[in-house]
Structure formats: structure tokens, C-alpha cells
Structure 1
Amino acid sequence: MYWIDFPPAWTFYGLLSAWGLSRVEPVWLGFGPYHVALGGIVFLVGLGLMLWASATMLRHRTKVMPRQEAAALVTDGPFRFSRNPIYLGDLLLLASGALVFDAPLALLLVPVLAAILQRRFIRPEETMLRRGFGAAFEDWAARTRRWL
């Protein structure tokens, strides 16, 4: 049952909801003729950010999977700009779905997903990092934003 409460699963639930909203939203509320291209660009940026962050973590020989103890505090690569670049990528994937599905109301799901990720994953991970890396984590957290 772990896969049900897993960040990509929550992103999938959001995308499914965005698709559902696209079926009931009025046509006049759409994004316009370039929504698919823009959604594709946002998708590629989100996926690229996730891959960059994952590769950076693997290079430091620490776990990418949530809820597992980190072997290293990763502060380079995309982690210079965001403490949570993979979760930021999840938000971009959801936003891209809202664009591709031409469902502007689905953009309201992005802050909902952010709140879920923060409560279910980010806060517990930050507690583990604080416990494992102490002052080094506090210094990095003080100079690096949670999202952007």
C-alpha cells in the first residue's frame, strides 16, 4: 500500500482530477490555442528538474526515495535553489496537466498538492535531515528556500 501514499501517486491523483475538471469546465474558460505547447514545455522543465535532482542525489550516494534516511546532505545542483526540487517538479507536472487538458480551474490543484507534499513528505524529511545533519542542515535551510 506504500505506492498509494507516494509523491508521484499524489501527482497522478492531481492529474486525474485535472483531467476530470477539463471534462466539466466551460469551453470559454480555456487557455487558448497554445495550451498544449505551453503544457509540454512546463512538463519538460518539471521532468528535467526532477531528473537533475535525482542524478545529483545519486552522485552523492544518497537515497532518492522519500521517508528513507539520507546518507548525505545534498546542497549543490538544483538544491542550491530549492530544498525540494523533485517536489517542485511534481508541481510543474500538475500545472502542465492543467495546461494540456485546457483546464484553468485545475491550476487550483497545484497549491493543494504543495500542501499535501509539505505535510506528508517535506516536514518529516526535514525532521530527519535536521536530526542527521544538525547545524549543516540549519545553515542550508536558512539560505535556501523550500520551493523557489
Structure 2
Amino acid sequence: MSAYRAKPSNVPWPPIIAAAALLLSILAGRVFALPLPDTAFLRMIGVLFLLAAIAVDIWSITTLRAARTTIMPTRKSTCLVTAGPYGLSRNPIYCGYVLFLIALGLILANAWFVVFAAATAYGIQRFAIEREELHLLAVFGAEYEAYCRRVRRWV
């Protein structure tokens, strides 16, 4: 576990995975349409989800900066942040990524965004969250374990 003490990963997987999902959703929609009902109601829900995703990400980043710890998934955490959105989810920025993709799917009436949002959640869990959890456990020990018992990984 000491290998995770310095930093969780060498690659910033979460934004890479989310960007790939965005591009694949667009490409898949052009090659093989997978439409959602194109209604004003779904577009409105999509806009609300989009605003929520942006707000959650901004709130999460400002909370990390206020705690003077990194927002980069490739750097060592210097502080265990449990306040703000981190009191609701251990990974609110990643929740924002997934919600952003779902929002685009609703706005653009393209179900591929929803499909790739699920794939994004899986990919981020597998390539980032699991490594970050080992890093946080190595750095913060029992304090991180207690936090994990109080707060869910996603929502």
C-alpha cells in the first residue's frame, strides 16, 4: 500500500474518460442513431442536470482549494476534505462528469450519452477511484476509513 502514498496515479484518467465518452457519444449518434424522445420537458430536465453538474463541480473545486489540497487526480492529497459536497459524496467531481453526460443526452435527445455516462462511471471507478481510495487510505488511515463509513462513494 505504500506505493500509493506518493500519488494515486500517473494518468489523469477521469477527464480523459469523460472526454472520450463525450466524443464517442457524438460519433455513435452519427453512425447509429439511438434517439431519446425529443420533448421540451426532457430538454428542460437536461438543462437542469447540466446546471447541477456545473454547480457541483465548481463547489467541489472551490472546497478543495479552500482546504489547500490538490484537485489533480495525479497528485498527493495533503488534506482529507469531508465538508461541502464531500459530505454528500466521496467523488462529487466525478458525479458531475456523469451528470454532465446524461444532461447532454437529454438536451440532444441522444441516448448514446446515457450509455457512455454509465461506461464513464465504470471506467472512472476502475481506473481512478479505486486507486485514489488506496492512496487516501495510505495517507490518512483510520480517518479515511471512518469517512468511508459515513459517506457513499457516488451518491
Instruction: State TM-score, norm by structure 2.
Output: 0.85
Query: Structure 1 regions of 5+ residues with no counterpart?
Result: none
Give 2:121's aligned residue: 114
Give 1:130's aligned residue: 137
Once the two structures are superposed, the pairs formed by residues 1-148 of structure 1 within 5 Å of their partners are 6-23=13-30, 24-25=32-33, 29-34=35-40, 35-148=42-155
Query: Structure 2 regions of 5+ residues with no counterpart?
Result: 1-10
Displacement over 3 Å in runs of 4+:
none
TM-superposed CA distance for 1:119, in Å, is: 1.2
Number of residue pairs matched by the alignment: 144
Q: Give the structure with the higher percent helix.
A: 1
Instruction: State TM-score, norm by structure 1.
Output: 0.88
CA distance in 1 between counterparts of 2:90 and 2:26 reads 29
Q: Is the 8 A contact 1:98 1:106 kept in 2?
A: yes
User: Per chain length, whose mean CA-contact separation is higher, i.e. which structure has more relative contact order (CA < 8 Å, sep 6+)?
Assistant: 2
Task: Between 96-105 and 137-146, report the one with greater CA deviation.
Answer: 96-105
CA distance in 2 between counterparts of 1:31 and 1:12 reads 24
TM-superposed CA distance for 1:32, in Å, is: 2.6
State the superposition RMSD in angstroms.
1.9
